[in-house]
Structure 1
Amino acid sequence: MSRSDAFTVPNLLTYLRIVAVPVIAVLLLVPDPTARWVAVVLYVAAALTDYLDGYLARALDQFSPLGRMLDPIADKLIVAALLIALSADGSIDGLHVLAAVFIMMREIFVSGLREFLGGTVVIHVSKLAKWKTTAQLVAIAVLMVAPLLGSAATATEWLGLAILWIAAILTVYTGYDYLKGGLPHVLNEAE
């Protein structure tokens, strides 16, 4: 990879998304509505860069191995960090924490599977996996905004938790798809 490949516009957007993760998480933990609104705005901007970096990579023909590696890592970092922050601030609590645990388990498992397969076998991202990511991002956004909505907070929180469970179900299902596609290769390696 050349140095210029590392600094393409899509890759720069991905770097910004990664850098935004701890900032958003910290802002969520500050007990102040203004900090939470800033977190929401940064989160929406970060989520939009997820779409924008892929669009620009295609439009500008700026694909790179680094971008292919970092984009899913950035997605997983933002989802994992914000699920933890939302659990820490009580937005996700009780049995709903299990939905967050299922999501994080699948994301780590699939990353490990891809690492084990080491590029020798490419497991492509399915449309359902893209819907899974969208459901995760929407659930997080709704849960971030819920405490800021006054009388609509409880209904919004329940909506966010319902979407979180839908995301968890999609996450487990797509994880099973990855396992089904990768397991024969794993077993071949083990022999």
Structure 2
Amino acid sequence: MEMNKIPNLLTLFRILLIPTLIFSFYLKGELSSYVAVAIFVFASITDFFDGYIARRMSTQSELGRMLDPIADKLLIASTLMMLVHFQKAPVIPSIAILCREILVSGLREHLAEIRILIPVSSLAKIKTAAQMAAIIILLLGEDVFHIPYINIFGQGMLWIAAILTLITGYVYCKEGIKHI
């Protein structure tokens, strides 16, 4: 296999993991939490490695630039929707995160058409880390951690992630609107 195809294959694999992640929510007991976290963490790790390999080997591609953010958003959106469905995550911050992602994706698509690239900020990377940490805590919850109030902590983390999401979305939109 050609090394330049590995990043795109990892991204496609991340997308293909999503139905399995969704199915894992319907497993019984703690097994559901363990499987969901394992899939979510594994998918998140592939996100790191597809970008790392593409940059390290100078094999970035148009397909990868398009598919990677889509895969990220599908993973986060699917997981948040399932957490809300199973009443493990609050609705408002989840909707805020999803709406921001859709808005920024649309803006990013438009800016790409006119060849404008707005780099990812450090705060956006912190936002992503906060989202992932909150999701992992909510996936495992008190059933697995056996720590009182860990669900409330995870929900608080999701609110923090939502606030960071809105701030980074505002900054991105403010910068993007200059080019419209």
**Shorter-chain TM-score above 0.5:** yes
Other-structure match for 2:86: 89
- Alignment length, in residue pairs? 179
The CA deviation at 1:5 is 8.6
Unpaired stretches in structure 2, ≥5 consecutive residues? none
The CA deviation at 1:29 is: 3.2
What CA RMSD, in Å, does the superposition of the two structures yield over aligned residues?
Answer: 1.9
Match status 1:167 vs 2:161: yes
Structure 1 residue 33: Cα displacement:
2.1
Displacement of 1:167 after TM fit?
0.6
8 A contact 1:6–1:66 mirrored in 2? no
Query: Which residue number in structure 2 is paired with residue 70 of structure 1?
Result: 67
**Equivalents in 1 of 2:134, 2:143: separation in Å?**
15
Q: 1:29–1:85: 8 Å Cα contact kept in structure 2?
A: no
Q: CA deviation at 1:181?
A: 0.6
The 1:67–1:36 alpha-carbon spacing in structure 2 relative to 1, beyond 3 Å, is same
Query: What is the identity, as a one-letter code, of the residue corresponding to 1:166?
Result: I
SS of match in other structure, 1:149: helix
| Within-5 A mapping of 1:18-33 | 18-33=15-30
Decide which of 122, 132, 146 is 1:137's aligned counterpart. 132
Q: Percent identity?
A: 43
Could you tell me how far apart the structure 2 residues matched to 1:164 and 1:21 are? 20
Equivalents in 2 of 1:7, 1:149: separation in Å? 40
Residue 107 of structure 2 corresponds to which residue in structure 1? 113
Distance across 2 between alignment mates of 1:63 and 1:5: 13
Alignment of 1:183 with 2:177, yes or no, is yes
Q: Counterparts of 1:7 and 1:140 in 2: how far apart (Å)?
A: 31
Q: Which residue of 1 aligns with 2:150?
A: 156
Q: Is the 8 A contact 1:86 1:144 kept in 2?
A: yes
Cα distance in 2, alignment partners of residues 14 and 147 from structure 1: 31
**Normalising by the residue count of structure 2, what TM-score does the alignment of the two structures yield?**
0.91
**What TM-score do you get using the length of structure 1 for normalisation?**
0.86
- 1:51 corresponds in structure 2 to 48
Is structure 2 residue 97 aligned with structure 1 residue 100?
A: no
Question: Quick one: structure 1 residues 174 and 13, their matched pair in 2 at CA, closer, same or farther if it must change by over 3 Å?
Answer: same
1:136-189 deviations in Å (ceiling 9; x for gaps): 11111110011432631x422112111111110110000001110111222xxx
Is contact 2:96-2:166 (8 Å) kept?
A: yes
